[in-house]
């Protein structure tokens, strides 16, 4: 307990520069006499900490003192603090304490430049709660029971072993091992309707590469968009996949799964999209559009 307090005193002095014994006693909930014993212990251990009396006195460290092995460049220090700042905003355990300690050691401050909100508009934070539950299950290796809506419209319960959280193409996914299918699966967080952390644990395993696990084929889809759809095209496709034509049209070539999701995605552009390849996809989309028309035609 004393060892932990000694480190905290050093961190505090590095961060604040100077403190009085009563201030430290109140902060660490010990007596002033205990603080002076701690200062003696630190000094005996070679930490250049001093106590001065008088109006401007107090307890302080020798100027320019830094902990041993902090041999990072200024840029590397700032990168570490920035990374910890982003972790802190996802409410990682002890993130803010770690950030405070390293800021003190490096004599740097990390600006609050980043805010992460996982919830959708109008969601009131339930997506944030879902993310935290899943993160906890991954970290503590606990099985979870989820109610999931897949791309075919089927809603069913599954028990999975959560392995990793993944962010791709403006969406969060859970990489997991499905106990029912006895295989690896990827679940989109927004399609997880309900979840429950179970008491059953599991042994950590690596999630294989996609081309080793997913039986679903990803074929090359080539699409044409008019200039006025640029905002969506650049939102949803990598720039290297976009070829701008002289007339302003955008040709996109990307590997995408040929399933119900793709049909719905193409239809979401209405008439502002042309399917170039594969040709047979045109008939599939046209047939689905016809069904929609017939459904809403009086």
Rounded to two decimals, the pTM is: 0.49
User: Comparing 49-58, 160-169, 268-277, which segment has the lowest mean pLDDT?
Assistant: 49-58
**Can you give the pLDDT at residue 251?**
96
Mean pLDDT of the residues in the chain: 77
**Can you give the pLDDT at residue 79?**
52
- Label residue 87 by pLDDT band (50, 70, 90): very low
| Tens-place pLDDT, residues 185-238 | 999 888 888 999 999 999 888 888 765 444 455 788 999 999 999 988 988 888
**Can you give the pLDDT at residue 260?**
79
CA distances from 2 to 27, 74, 97, 141, 255 (A): 14, 32, 18, 33, 58
| Tens-place pLDDT, residues 152-162 | 778 899 999 99
Q: What is the mean pLDDT of residues 121-150?
A: 82
């Amino acid at each position: 307990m004393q060892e932990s307090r000694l480190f905290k005193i050093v961190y505090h002095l590095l961060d604040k520069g100077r403190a009085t014994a009563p201030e430290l006693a109140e902060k660490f909930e010990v007596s002033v006499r205990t603080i002076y014993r701690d200062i003696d212990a630190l000094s005996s251990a070679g930490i250049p900490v001093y106590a001065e009396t008088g109006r401007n006195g107090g307890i302080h460290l020798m100027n320019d003192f830094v902990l041993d092995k902090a041999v990072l460049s200024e840029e590397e220090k700032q990168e570490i603090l920035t990374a910890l700042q982003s972790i802190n905003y996802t409410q990682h355990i002890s993130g803010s304490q770690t950030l405070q300690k390293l800021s003190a050691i490096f004599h740097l401050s990390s600006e609050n430049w980043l805010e992460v909100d996982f919830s959708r508009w109008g969601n009131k934070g339930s997506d944030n709660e879902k993310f935290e539950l899943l993160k906890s299950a991954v970290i503590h290796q606990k099985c979870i029971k989820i109610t999931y809506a897949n791309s075919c419209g089927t809603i069913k319960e599954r028990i999975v072993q959560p392995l990793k959280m993944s962010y791709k193409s403006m969406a969060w996914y859970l990489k997991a091992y499905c106990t029912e299918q006895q295989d690896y699966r990827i679940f989109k967080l927004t399609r997880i309707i309900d979840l429950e952390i179970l008491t059953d644990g599991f042994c950590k395993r690596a999630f294989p590469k996609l081309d080793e696990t997913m039986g679903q084929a990803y074929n090359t889809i080539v699409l044409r968009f008019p200039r006025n759809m640029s905002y969506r095209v650049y939102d949803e496709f990598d720039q290297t996949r976009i070829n701008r034509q002289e007339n302003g049209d955008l040709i996109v070539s990307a590997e995408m799964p040929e399933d119900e999701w793709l049909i719905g995605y193409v239809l979401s552009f209405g008439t502002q999209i042309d399917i170039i390849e594969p040709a047979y996809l045109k008939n599939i989309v046209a047939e689905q559009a016809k069904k929609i028309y017939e459904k809403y035609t009086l």
